[in-house]
């Protein structure tokens, strides 16, 4: 009798397994993006690496798909700082956790090592001198990277991934972008029309959460012009992540078709609490839940950064 019961049980288990295999796999609905703010005060502390290690350790719990950094990875164009930050990022490299970063003004030759004043020479040309950044962060370190504006340079690049049953495109854009870079970005948004586009750029919102109207004094075009030309006209542009302005905040602007484009500013200049914005995206219910988690305190910031955005209409694959 015992053998018969065992055979019956094994048969039921086998049948259940076949049924489960026959079912189509359910696409995940919810995942997380981590947005790391300006970390320029962390070029000689263990904080940046500790933050990245926490993200790796909690990757499965968060269903974390990518880590984004909004620029000013350095404080000055100093090789010691590059080595320090590059070593920290090996935490993500070794875990094969994809990331994308954009260049801040402090990540270029425009800022010299004396407290942040302009380096000698043509400040606009210095702003576009990113040789050291590309030396330490070559295209090969970015697993999601595809198209670039300039061959083998990460300054302006496209990063692709899939999550929540949808396709995504991150465009990291140089700050105060050149006109031909804006034209390139427009082509990329159009090329990936079936993907939800996220812009990652250092300067976009001011501290009062208005869109910046000038070129920062030594860039090329204003964030407002970039928004008007490369973001607003397109139905698939969903979000903008930025830093630079010294605060955190959120605003929406209407695209030409009426859908909201969501802009998130995160710039804390905090080298003690490790603040990181965690954005949980629910593609089924059309929501985004934001919070800024401080790892060393094991708590979320109570500064208005915890919120839920509803009614998001995602771009879905055709057919």
For the chain, how many structural domains are there in total? 1
- pLDDT computed for residue 319 by the predictor: 61
Residue 7 is assigned to a structural domain of this protein = no
Residue 286 is assigned to a structural domain of this protein = yes
Q: What does each of the 319 residues of the chain score in pLDDT, given as a tens digit?
A: 445 554 554 444 344 443 333 333 345 899 999 999 999 999 999 999 999 999 999 999 999 999 999 999 999 989 999 999 999 999 999 999 999 999 999 999 998 877 667 888 899 999 999 999 999 999 999 999 999 999 999 999 999 999 999 999 999 999 999 999 999 999 999 999 999 999 999 999 999 999 999 999 999 999 999 999 999 999 999 999 999 999 999 999 999 999 999 999 999 999 899 999 999 999 999 999 999 999 999 999 999 999 999 999 999 987 6
pTM of full prediction above 0.95 = no
- pLDDT computed for residue 20 by the predictor: 37
The residue range of the domain holding 285 is: 29-309
- pLDDT computed for residue 4 by the predictor: 52
The CATH number of the domain holding residue 108 is 3.60.21.10
- pLDDT computed for residue 68 by the predictor: 98
Q: Tell the residue number behind the tokens 């250092």, with chain if given.
A: 202
- pLDDT computed for residue 26 by the predictor: 41
Residue 265 is assigned to a structural domain of this protein = yes
- pLDDT computed for residue 318 by the predictor: 79
- pLDDT computed for residue 6 by the predictor: 40
Contact by Cβ (8 Å): 261, 235: no
* 61-65 long-range Cβ contacts below 8 angstroms, 24+ apart: 62/32, 62/34, 62/278, 62/280, 63/28, 63/30, 63/31, 63/32, 64/31, 64/32, 64/33, 64/34, 64/97, 65/31, 65/32, 65/33, 65/98, 65/161, 65/163
Residue 1 is assigned to a structural domain of this protein = no
Residue 9 is assigned to a structural domain of this protein = no
Residue 14 is assigned to a structural domain of this protein = no
State the Cα angle at 32 between 171 and 291, rounded to 5°.
100
């Amino acid at each position: 009798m015992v053998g018969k019961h065992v055979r019956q049980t094994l048969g039921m288990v086998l049948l259940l397994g076949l049924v489960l295999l026959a079912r189509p796999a359910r696409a995940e609905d919810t995942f997380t993006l981590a947005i790391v703010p300006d970390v320029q005060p962390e070029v000689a502390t263990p904080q940046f690496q500790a933050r990245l290690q926490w993200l790796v350790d909690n990757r499965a719990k968060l269903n974390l798909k990518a880590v984004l950094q909004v620029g000013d990875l350095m404080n000055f164009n100093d090789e010691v700082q590059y080595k320090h930050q590059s070593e920290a990022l090996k935490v993500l490299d070794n875990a094969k956790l994809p990331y994308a970063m954009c260049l801040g003004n402090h990540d270029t030759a425009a800022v010299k090592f004396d407290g942040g004043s302009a380096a000698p020479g043509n400040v606009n040309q210095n702003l576009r001198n990113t040789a050291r950044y590309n030396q330490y962060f070559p295209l090969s370190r970015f697993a999601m990277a595809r198209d670039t504006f300039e061959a083998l340079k990460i300054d302006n690049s496209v990063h692709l991934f899939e999550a929540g049953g949808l396709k995504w495109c991150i465009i990291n854009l140089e700050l105060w972008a050149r006109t031909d870079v804006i034209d390139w970005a427009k082509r990329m948004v159009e090329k990936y029309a079936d993907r939800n586009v996220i812009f990652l750029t250092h300067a976009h919102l001011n501290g009062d959460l208005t869109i910046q109207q000038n070129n920062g004094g030594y860039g090329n075009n204003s964030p407002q012009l970039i928004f008007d030309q490369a973001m607003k006209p397109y139905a698939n542009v969903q979000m903008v992540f930025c830093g630079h302005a010294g605060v955190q905040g959120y605003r929406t602007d209407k695209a030409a078709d009426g859908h909201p484009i969501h802009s998130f500013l995160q710039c804390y200049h905090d080298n003690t609490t490790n603040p990181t914005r965690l954005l949980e995206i629910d593609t089924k219910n059309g929501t985004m839940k934001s919070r800024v988690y401080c790892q060393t305190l094991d708590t979320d910031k109570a500064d208005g950064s915890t919120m839920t955005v509803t009614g998001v209409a995602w771009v879905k694959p055709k057919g």
